[in-house]
Structure 1
Amino acid sequence: MQSDIQIVVARQIKGLTDDPNFDISSWPSVDEGALVPEMAECFSKRKRAVILYLEGASDKLIFEETGIGRKQTYRLIRERCIQTHPDGRVYGWRGLIKHLRINAPHRKKKITVNNWGGGAVGALKSTMENFPELRVKFEKRVLSAASETTLSEVRRPRKANWKWLIDKFREEGLEVKGEWPFNTARLGYGSIRKYIDSILMGNPYLAAKAIGGKDLVKKLAASDGTNRPNLIAFDRVEVDAHKLDGRFCVMIPQLDGDYEPKIVHRLWVVVILEVVSRAVLGYQFSMGKEVNKEDVLKAIKSALTKWSPRKVTFSECSYHPGAGFPSSHNVRFLGACWNEFSVDGALANTCNSVADQIARVVKAKILDPDNSYSVRRTKDDRPFIETFFRTVGKNGLQRLNNTTGGKPSDKNGYDPVKIALTSQFQIEYAEDLIDTLIANYNVAPHGMLGSRSPLAYLDFITSNNKVPIRYADPGEIQNLLNTRKLVTLKGGFSTGRRPYVNFFGATYSADWLDNQQQLVGQKLWANNFLEDDARLIRISNRDGVILGILHAHPPWHQSPHSLRVRRAINSLISKKLIHFSANTDVIAELCTYVESQSNKKFPIHPAYLELRAIFQRQAQSIPSQFDSGQFNISDEIKNEHIPTSKSLDTQKKIFTPKVQDALPSRRKAIQK
């Protein structure tokens, strides 16, 4: 803070007041109210003396008012006020504070350490002045960062630097002469440690690079948030994947009809949060080893489609009144798009691989550390979603004793694995818990929103209809998770084989292709239009004309599965872990393989967990359609080359006894 004192300088001081840059009004001021009474009185007298001296007052007047002589006042100005502060400015009025050290002590006498360890004040500085080249090398070593190309040491400890300097002193012969630091008990460790700290604090950017690399240097450039852009509703969303802080199990059916719990080691939740209102638009519960592009797309689809509450089994009043998501709260927010899609460095590569789908459906720009404001700052500059995860974790899973917490001490002596197995805390319960926690968060009062809930605040800022809201096309949303690939139609009468295509490790064909021999050899688009059922694909030509539906050949023709599950199974097949014949159900073989693992702590294969989720979704949707006699595979397949009765028979095969046993007993698809 600058001084607001305006005086007329009447006394000319050579080398001071005759300098055109001399301006007492620019001197840094002092908070006099923070000083103790004795120091405040002394400062006030010194300040008055300086003002009188510069105004040209006589020695007598200065002494009468302040008790300080003219010569002493001159020394206060010359030796304290105009000296350079470590912040780069002059000390100014700060130099008048009593007992404030301006210059470091300079030792004149020889260093002599007494029997009690005293007498070595300023010894390190005096020793370093005798070896200026060594001082430069030591400071360079302290501030040096690890190489980005060759193997080198990271985060060099103070003790290593202290030992290096002691070895150099020893080479200079100080140990033989018995001089400092070899005449002290700890070889000057305390003084050298403080010297190292002063070097680091005096060079913050170089110190940050030495400690944490160039990424930590970027974090130093992060502002306090006051200069963030002024956003309106749906301008920007923040996206992140969070690994759940807990241990959960899955119940594996046994041959004797019982169930055995096995631990699931990794569960993720991908959340999309609207920045202005802090409302969570949608999320995806992922059971893979890592979050992939399909999880991100499912989270986006969740944000663009209407949410409905789950049938929670552990409580009848788990959802608070009005709990939900914007899509279910108000029809104005159903399918609402956003303009910017902000991700961190860890999720950037995953999101960039689906940038085309995001641009086509949502028409949003991906903000990552390579193309946004994060380039100048930290890769993890997404404060709102980080706060959300911290809040939900503290109010949710971290309150249970199966939590792993953010660090080992958070376990509080409990064994999360043992608790998950003995209590049979299944992943289905974790899904219910996450859904209720997020839905309830959206209706909980938020301190930064004027005690409004995120949903109430979203209503408030959009109530005047001045916020333009774009909407995604429902058809594009439905096709968001579709996988398309250009394939060649093979076979034909010349080979004696029905025309077919190969699509992601499976062969597809249909009866209607017998009459389409002219298509053999052409490039066609294959589309996996049912995200949870890769048994069927839709074929169209390169002009966009839909030709019909193809079904998978054995062993992929019986049970529903996704392409993600198929890739995992093919990986196990290539490793000789699964064996099957042409007429077997390879999906059932995966279940047999996973259920045959004897070690309870052996991690469950993610493909098995995804299969369970697919079976559960099928179990919740199809039986009611069977009962009403209104079953169709999909509205998109109507009037295309596949008989409805055959579709019904194909879908009924989903619910085999093997699939029934793969579900928890409380979620059987069909009651026996």
Structure 2
Amino acid sequence: MARRKPEFQTLDLSTWPTVAWTVFDAAERESIRARTTAIEQYACGATIKEIEQSTGVNRRQLYRLLERALTAHPDGRLYGFRALILHARVGDYVRLSPVKLSGERGSRGAVGALSQLLERFPSLAAWLQLQIKQHRVALIEIRAGGELRTRLQGLQGLHAGFLQQCRQCGLVAADYPFNTASHAIRSLSARLKRELLSGFGTAARAAGATHLKGMPRSDDVAAPAATRPYQVVEFDGHRLDVRLKVVMPDPLGFTHEFEIERVWLLVIIDVCTRAVLGHHLVLAREYSRYDVIKAIEAALEPHQARSFTIRELGYGPMDGYPSQRMPELAYVTWEHIKLDNAKANLATETLAALCEFVGGQVAAGPKHSPNERPYIERFFGTIATRLSSRLPGYTGGHPRDLRRALSDPKGNLRLFVSFDELEELVEYSIASYNGTPHTGLNNVSPLEAMESFVRG
């Protein structure tokens, strides 16, 4: 039989949410069952005449029920069989007529007026969303009469600002919301509560939460799953928990030693093969945009083998960097790079280098969300275990860390690691990591995985 609409031609009723039959009485269950049977017969290919004769649902009512059932529910699914319930509302109320208030204080006849106002002036809706994002209002819980209720904190100030925005849009005293007794403060409060409680993340932040783990992101497009080298890379900075000795010569030829307690390791790692492409060490309280660019250069340029001055340090037969072992990988660029929202990462010069020079897409993850970049965070954990915690001057993960007390040089600067020595140790550690079998790669080393993809 011919179908009027394409979406009615392939109905998968197995994915439709069902109804709770036990909450309805016998008459309501019979009505819902007749509509359900009509939909099922329609999906099986029965004719409209057969459906009308067996269920009593006419053609017009059947198509209306189908349209309602295929409407998206706020929970992300279709309404499905839930739309067959009598008086079930599948869409929000939309006011079409102008606002004409009635009642002694002008408090009647304004249903849907605020939504209509926000549709007329999108700038007002955008302003409200900005206030919510900037936490101008917050949800607090109060107990009244033995019941737990929610209340908006900061509503009065936001309402005053909302009225000011309405005046800037050209609304006068005869227009809504100025022609109401309370200037629509109750409607504004209901709207804000609905927006704040529309999702778990928004509601949690409105209640004071600062860190949310495992929340789905909707602010930008996430990087795709990595199925080949250089498709997705991750960048981050890690503060090494060590105290360094820096030796500076003066013009007279004397050397001066002093201690520095802040060292940053910037790394770019390939997600598919877990291989570290390049790194850069920074001696500063915080790394800058120029340090990020140097790390990008280190990942792109062919890696030069280093001459080690520390005895028993050197490249193993399977160690090194991808561009060092495979010269064809020199200056190979990536497609997507994942990083956090640090100021140095999102600086104009950094984004210009990433987007214009390299030509890849930048996926900046939310703050305090290391799970967005799990591979580089796991690598930093490996560096902390194999390198930082074994050096004299290790500061430890917390003040009571036993390893901190064991590696304390007791103020003797001669026992501190110098910067040149740290560069060699980091070079050796990363080269060894790239050549060590990785459990996430079925005990294949990152360099072996890279070579398998590149050379076959």
Give the structure-1-normalised TM-score.
0.37
Q: In structure 2, give the amino acid aligned to 1:387.
A: R
8 Å CA contact 1:145, 1:210 repeated in 2? no
Q: Which of 227, 230, 234 lines up with 1:231 in the alignment?
A: 227
Q: Which residue of 2 aligns with 1:490?
A: none
Q: In structure 2, give the amino acid aligned to 1:442.
A: N
Residue 363 of structure 1 and its aligned partner are, at CA, apart by 1.7
3-state SS of the aligned residue for 2:269?
A: strand
Distance 1:385 1:323 in 2: 19
Segments of structure 2 that go 5 or more residues without pairing to the other structure are 1-13, 15-20, 34-141, 159-199
Q: Which of 398, 403, 412 lines up with 1:407 in the alignment?
A: 398
Residue 344 of structure 1 and its aligned partner are, at CA, apart by 0.5
8 Å CA contact 1:275, 1:384 repeated in 2? yes
Instruction: Figure out how many residues of one structure are paired with residues of the other and give that number.
Output: 284
8 Å CA contact 1:244, 1:266 repeated in 2? yes
Segments of structure 1 that go 5 or more residues without pairing to the other structure are 3-8, 22-130, 151-202, 465-672
8 Å CA contact 1:352, 1:366 repeated in 2? no
3-state SS of the aligned residue for 2:150?
A: helix
3-state SS of the aligned residue for 1:418?
A: coil
Residues 1:430 and 2:422 are matched in the alignment = yes
Q: Which residue of 1 aligns with 2:280?
A: 284
Q: 1:179-219, CA deviations, whole angstroms, 9 ceiling, x for partnerless residues?
A: xxxxxxxxxxxxxxxxxxxxxxxx78634653533xx3474
Which runs of structure 2 are paired with 1:188-199 in the superposition (5 Å)? none
In structure 2, the CA distance between the partners of 1:413 and 1:368, relative to structure 1 (3 Å rule), is closer
Residue 285 of structure 1 and its aligned partner are, at CA, apart by 1.2
What is the CA RMSD across the aligned residues, in angstroms?
4.1
In structure 2, the CA distance between the partners of 1:335 and 1:228, relative to structure 1 (3 Å rule), is closer
Residue 220 of structure 1 and its aligned partner are, at CA, apart by 2.7
In structure 2, the CA distance between the partners of 1:413 and 1:270, relative to structure 1 (3 Å rule), is closer
Distance 1:146 1:393 in 2: 45
Residues 1:328 and 2:324 are matched in the alignment = yes
Q: In structure 2, give the amino acid aligned to 1:451.
A: N
Q: Which residue of 2 aligns with 1:390?
A: 381
Q: Which residue of 1 aligns with 2:439?
A: 447
In structure 2, the CA distance between the partners of 1:396 and 1:413, relative to structure 1 (3 Å rule), is closer
Q: Which residue of 2 aligns with 1:140?
A: 150
Residue 266 of structure 1 and its aligned partner are, at CA, apart by 1.4
Percent of counterpart pairs with the same letter? 27
Distance 2:384 2:304 in 1: 23
Residues 1:300 and 2:281 are matched in the alignment = no
Distance 1:15 1:146 in 2: 48
Distance 2:283 2:246 in 1: 12
Give the structure-2-normalised TM-score.
0.53
8 Å CA contact 1:205, 1:220 repeated in 2? no
Q: In structure 2, give the amino acid aligned to 1:210.
A: A
3-state SS of the aligned residue for 2:228?
A: coil
Which runs of structure 2 are paired with 1:478-489 in the superposition (5 Å)? none
Q: 1:147-175, CA deviations, whole angstroms, 9 ceiling, x for partnerless residues?
A: 9x99xxxxxxxxxxxxxxxxxxxxxxxxx
3-state SS of the aligned residue for 1:268?
A: strand
Residues 1:421 and 2:413 are matched in the alignment = yes
8 Å CA contact 1:341, 1:367 repeated in 2? yes
Q: In structure 1, give the amino acid aligned to 2:386.
A: N
Q: In structure 1, give the amino acid aligned to 2:357.
A: V
3-state SS of the aligned residue for 1:315?
A: coil
8 Å CA contact 1:261, 1:424 repeated in 2? no
Residue 262 of structure 1 and its aligned partner are, at CA, apart by 0.9
Distance 1:145 1:345 in 2: 29
Q: Which of 180, 204, 221 lines up with 2:216 in the alignment?
A: 221
8 Å CA contact 1:238, 1:385 repeated in 2? yes
Distance 1:451 1:145 in 2: 55
3-state SS of the aligned residue for 1:212?
A: coil
In structure 2, the CA distance between the partners of 1:204 and 1:397, relative to structure 1 (3 Å rule), is same
Q: Which residue of 1 aligns with 2:311?
A: 315
Residue 259 of structure 1 and its aligned partner are, at CA, apart by 4.2
Distance 1:274 1:208 in 2: 33
Q: Which residue of 2 aligns with 1:262?
A: 258
Residue 428 of structure 1 and its aligned partner are, at CA, apart by 1.2
3-state SS of the aligned residue for 1:140?
A: strand
Q: 1:229-249, CA deviations, whole angstroms, 9 ceiling, x for partnerless residues?
A: 353221121111111111111
8 Å CA contact 2:231, 2:335 repeated in 1? yes
Distance 2:422 2:320 in 1: 17
